[in-house]
Amino acid sequence: MKTMQVIPLTLLFALAASAQSIKFGKCPKPAVQANFDATRYVGEWYEIQKLPAAFQKGECGTATYTLKSEGVVGVLNSELLKDGTINSIVGTAKVKDPAEPAKLEVSFFENSPPGPYWVLSSDYDGHALVYGCTNFGLFHVEFSWILSRQPTLPEETIEDLHSTLTSIGVKVDKMVYTNQDETYCAPMRD
């Protein structure tokens, strides 16, 4: 087998083993939040649900966004690991095209390619629905997060956001809830 075939297959198996959302075909191109306003989006968000991702191992997930400059948002993602330590990562999200400000590209490591961070829906004060997808030849890897300004979100809101995801082919039955229990997450809230 040629080396160029082995690398994508190895990546596919590694991602599948980590419960990533992998599908054959190209990424969908969903509509994003119209008239997205980054100044209203900044602040702290609690992760309510997500598609499993190899880079997220903990609970009590939060994302804190700050406006750095026009079209540039600072990102601080934090989670509580099983051993009680807090895992955090700092990154930057940049608007690729000013005509579509809800389509951001986020990067966490210098010289690493940015990943898509598309805000599909947000009311800015209660919920946000984020989607990302990357093509890898014959298949694609999807990411999605349902975020809230509070550690909980009404079930009917989650169902509405699931409808949006389902309309673009995301398997919402693969989404998992993030533990945001006040007692469990106390180390994150101090």
What does the pLDDT read at residue 99? 94
Phi and psi dihedrals of 152, rounded to 5? -130, 165
Residue given tokens 């702290």 in the structure block: 44
List of domains in the chain:
3-189 (2.40.128.20)
6-10, 83-87, 171-175: range with lowest mean pLDDT: 6-10
From CA 79, how far away is CA 104, in angstroms rounded? 22
What does the pLDDT read at residue 6? 41
Q: Average pLDDT of 82-110?
A: 93
Q: What is the mean pLDDT of the chain?
A: 89
What does the pLDDT read at residue 13? 42
pLDDT, tens only, 14-55: 444 344 678 889 999 999 999 999 999 999 999 999 999 888
Percentage of the chain modeled with pLDDT above 90: 77
pLDDT, tens only, 131-149: 999 999 899 999 999 999 9
Q: How far is CA 167 from CA 50, 113, 119, 129, 148, in A?
A: 17, 28, 15, 13, 21
* Cα R_g (the chain), whole angstroms: 17
